[in-house]
Amino acid sequence: MDLSSIQPGLLIASLMVAATPILIAALGEMVVERAGVLNLGVEGMMITGAVCGFVVAVQTGSPLFGFAAAAGGGAALALIFGLLTQMALANQVASGLALTLFGLGLSALLGQSYLGVRPPSTARLDIPVLGDIPGLGAVLFAHDWMVYFGLFLTLAVWAFLRHTRAGLILRAVGENAEAAHALGYKVVRVRLLAILFGGACAGLGGAYLSLVRVPQWTEGMTSGAGWIALALVVFASWRAGRVLMGAYLFGGMTVLQLNLQAAGVAIPVEYLSMSPYLVTILVLVIMSARRNQAPGDLGRTFHSAR
């Protein structure tokens, strides 16, 4: 056992990378749930985004187009969910689960001829002055641009929900759809837009896995990241800051347990592998134990004719 091989700086640098896909997907799902919709299809939208992004990036040679396609693919899948639940008034839980299964199958089909291909590498964002700080610069300021996009998105989602009128309307729709409708707000439209945003975010998170984190395409490569993102939203009490914290905690534990495995710690590998899930959920459960802060109308079908 050689714990000295674990370097804190490298650990932080790699946890930021490990956390980014869950962070982006969870932020999207959080917006969806704040609008009162429970979309359990995050896993399916993530893997669809992963394959769409991968295929387009390989074909065009541009990771940027890849990410754009990933967002589009995730949103397209989310649109199916949106039409089913908002227009056809289908059950949200069942539709979401179906979406996950559909996404897993669809992605396997689309990615068949891309197994073992290497994607173009995503550019690092070289931040001029900050990146030159010795030690800290390499750890915090020398990542690819999607890492910073995730952080920016956290801030943007927080500011949107907290400070803008559109954010207020979205929260109102999620809190009490009947009342929002009575005041003349378009509940279905707001929810559809939120669902599309959630799908795009899940797609981006998935593409980050296939284009940066891994980087290659394998079937079922999200391996439960979508479910973690879903759980994260609940345990983060539907707040952007806590989603960030939870995602980084989860990313940190993932990287740490990999390092511990590599260092040959005398704990069975299975326990180490489950530790990120256990620790993240435990911490967030304790933090969110005080009271139920779920949006009032979460998961309830809204029917305007009543």
Partner 1 sequence: MYYPLPPRPCSANRDYPRQTTAIRETRVTEPLLRISGVTKTYPGVIANEDVSLDIHSGEVHALLGENGAGKSTLVKMIYGLIRPDSGGMQMNGAPFTPTQPRAARAAGVGMVFQHFSLFDALSVAENVALGMEDPPRQRDLAARIQDVSQAYGLPLDPHRIVGDLSAGERQRVEIIRCLLQDPRLLIMDEPTSVLTPQEVDILFQTLRKLTDEGVAILYISHKLEEIRSLCERATILRRGRVVGQCVPRDSSAREMAEMMVGSSFAAPARTRRDLGDVALEVRALSLPPAHAFGTALRDISFAVRRGEVLGLGGVAGNGQDELLAAISGERRAARDMVHLSGDPIGHLGPAARRGKGLLTVPEERLGHAAAPDMSLTENAVVTGAQRRALVQRGFVQWGTARRFAEEIIAQFDVRTPGPDSAARALSGGNLQKFVIGREVLQAPNVLVVNQPTWGVDAAAAAAIRQALLDLAADGVAVICISQDLDELMELSDRFGALNEGRLSALRATDALSVEEIGLMMGGAHGMVMAHV
**Site residues (vs partner 1, CB under 8 A):** 165, 168-169, 171-172, 175-176, 178-180, 182-185, 291, 293, 295-296
| Residue 244 CA: distances (Å) to CA of 153, 199, 298 | 10, 18, 21
CB of 291 to partner 1, least distance (A): 5
Rg (CA), the chain: 20
Amino acid identity at 75: A
CB of 284 to partner 1, least distance (A): 20
| Residue 202 CA: distances (Å) to CA of 85, 89, 232, 279 | 18, 23, 13, 23
Side-chain half-sphere exposure of 108, counting CA atoms within 13 A: 8
CB-nearer residue toward partner 1: 143 or 171 = 171
CB-nearer residue toward partner 1: 93 or 274 = 93
Spell out the residues 6+ positions from residue 186 whose beta carbon is closer than 8 angstroms to its own.
Answer: none
CB of 275 to partner 1, least distance (A): 33
CB-nearer residue toward partner 1: 206 or 295 = 295
CB-nearer residue toward partner 1: 174 or 206 = 174
CB of 135 to partner 1, least distance (A): 42
Spell out the residues 6+ positions from residue 48 whose beta carbon is closer than 8 angstroms to its own.
Answer: 73, 74, 76, 77, 103, 106, 107, 203, 206
Q: ∠ CA 63-67-69 to the nearest 5 degrees? A: 115
Question: How many angstroms separate the CA atoms of 279 and 257, rounded?
Answer: 11
CB of 292 to partner 1, least distance (A): 9
CB of 30 to partner 1, least distance (A): 15
CB-nearer residue toward partner 1: 185 or 277 = 185
Question: How many angstroms separate the CA atoms of 243 and 229, rounded?
Answer: 9
CB-nearer residue toward partner 1: 118 or 163 = 163
